[in-house]
């Protein structure tokens, strides 16, 4: 086990929680979509939140095609969960 600095967010978020940057970004977008769907956020706020997240983490994403796939996945999960969870 290695020592991790307390405020080294890249190590905490990517290495510890995700394993790699692509896996972390996919899981994080699905989690954001799930929470937004569960709390029934308006589409504009949800889009701004995902856009801000992708802008913040865009340096760690390996391909632009992956951004599109994760964005569509996050929007799909958010929309589906908002219809299922609050019935």
The overall longest dimension of the chain from CA atoms, in Å, is 46
Tell me if the pTM is above 0.75. Answer: no
> Could you list the residue range(s) of the whole structural domain that residue 55 is in?
19-85
Asked, for residue 61, whether it belongs to a domain, the answer is yes
Asked, for residue 32, whether it belongs to a domain, the answer is yes
Asked, for residue 6, whether it belongs to a domain, the answer is no
Using 50, 70 and 90 to split pLDDT, how confident is the model at 61? confident
Average pLDDT over residues 26-41: 81
Q: For the chain, how many structural domains are there in total?
A: 1
Asked, for residue 80, whether it belongs to a domain, the answer is yes
Q: Is the pLDDT of residue 68 over 80?
A: no
Q: Which residue has the higher pLDDT, 36 or 9?
A: 36
Asked, for residue 36, whether it belongs to a domain, the answer is yes
Average pLDDT over residues 40-51: 82
């Amino acid at each position: 086990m290695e020592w991790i600095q307390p405020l080294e967010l890249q190590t905490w978020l990517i290495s510890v929680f995700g394993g790699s940057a692509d896996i972390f970004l996919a899981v994080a977008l699905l989690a954001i979509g799930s929470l937004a769907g569960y709390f029934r956020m308006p589409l504009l706020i949800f889009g701004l939140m995902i856009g801000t997240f992708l802008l913040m983490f865009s340096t760690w994403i390996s391909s632009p095609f992956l951004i599109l796939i994760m964005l569509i996945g996050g929007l799909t999960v958010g929309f589906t969960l908002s219809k299922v969870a609050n019935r």
